[in-house]
Amino acid sequence: AEYMFDTHIFHENLVGVDYCEKMVRETNPGVLELAERTPAPHAGEHGYKTIADIMRSLNPIEGEFYREALQVSRYTREMFCLMEGRHVHPSTLYPGGVGTIASVQLFTDYMSRLMRYCEFMKRVVPLHDDLFDFFYEALPGYEEVGRRRVLLGCWGALNDPEYCDFTYANMTDWGRKMFVTPGVVVDGKLVTNDLTEINLGIRILLGSSYYDDWQGQEKFVTHDPLGNPVDARHPWNQHTIPAPQKRNFDDKYSWVMSPRWFDGKDHLALDTGGGPIARLWSTALSGLVHTDYVQATGHSVVITLPRTMTKPETRFEWKIPKWSNALERNRARTYFQAYAAAIALHCAEKGLAEVRAGRTQTWEKFEVPDESIGVVFREAVRGELSQ
């Protein structure tokens, strides 16, 4: 629900304004004139005859689609609250489980909102495809806006409870069972989807930060629980030695260090692209996710949304793009909303089956060891998150 809510409100009510009629009229009036004459290829799906009509619908506060998106953000937030009590800081999450009482009514309330969201997605995806494809055609060279080398990092998300035991020993296996596959993608190729390898490759460099080097200091962790050697610059071995000084943009100017991922040769500054593009790219290349609603093919992700109130079953396919640029990062946000809805359908159906079978336990007893090391890999809505 958080993926659906936050990706939606960011994309529809913040990013969408960049492409609205008022903004385009002010910055590129010639593009707006062309948009007035350009039919929207998927008008039958989203209801706007021309590209300019789409742009007008995105005008902040006034636009029809903008206002509708605000309503959608309300019931997606309700979906979150049904499961976790309060948004944005959950009140039902406890060590070992959750305090939410699993019931048929709870899942029914969730599903009723989810199906409304699925119906909305059947308009959102074709609408944004029409808009973004138009900008490529209207402004030759626009593909260079925000274009970066493809260096993507995804830490994986949405664990499969049938496989995930959260142990380091099995992290490689349960990581590959995530419904968003972890991965490091360099120049369009998958380097690894192994969370253990990803963990061991993380480095903390000083960069331009106000800290002294800890090279030669004590190593807190020499080997991980599997016996693999751990580098001195891995977060487990980081020493924080502040060295305040005058700001100098040619040398030290920040309190932020420089995380990198070491591929054996280079320290790579991995990009998340705001989250969705890295998730979809990694999931597509790995080809490991297969549910009734999502299929990762090795070169794309196929999303199937079931029949809803007024629209038939609909199939979308996110294909690995030529570039990692502004438009493709935005397009990925569109498709990831549909992706999150599709995985939510799968998980809600599984959860409802558990309730009907009488398996309603939501908490597991656990013991806290005296000493331990750990690592957390997940995806916040707008990018990877690890501890």
- Summarize pLDDT for 235-246 with one digit per residue, the tens: 999 999 999 999
pLDDT at 274: 85
pLDDT at 386: 86
Q: What angle do CA 237, 238, 243 make, to 5 degrees?
A: 150
CA distance 78 to 85: 9
Domain 2-153+318-386 indexed as CATH 1.10.10.10: no
Tokens of 81: 């609250």
Segment (H or E) for 267: strand 267-268
Length of the chain: 387
Which segments of 209-293 does DSSP mark as H helices, in order?
Answer: 276-286
Q: What is the reported pTM?
A: 0.95
Contact between 11 and 333 (Cβ < 8 Å) = yes
Tokens of 40: 């929207």
Residue matched to tokens 């499961």: 83
Q: Tell me the domain boundaries of the chain.
A: 2-153+318-386
Tokens of 210: 């106000």
Those residues with Cβ within 8 angstroms of residue 229's Cβ, 6 or more apart along the chain or in another chain: 222, 223
Within 13 Å of residue 140, how many CA atoms lie on the same side as its CB? 0
pLDDT at 89: 87
Tokens of 31: 């593009």
Q: Which residues of the chain register pLDDT less than 50?
A: none
Phi, psi angle pair for 37, to nearest 5°: -95, 0
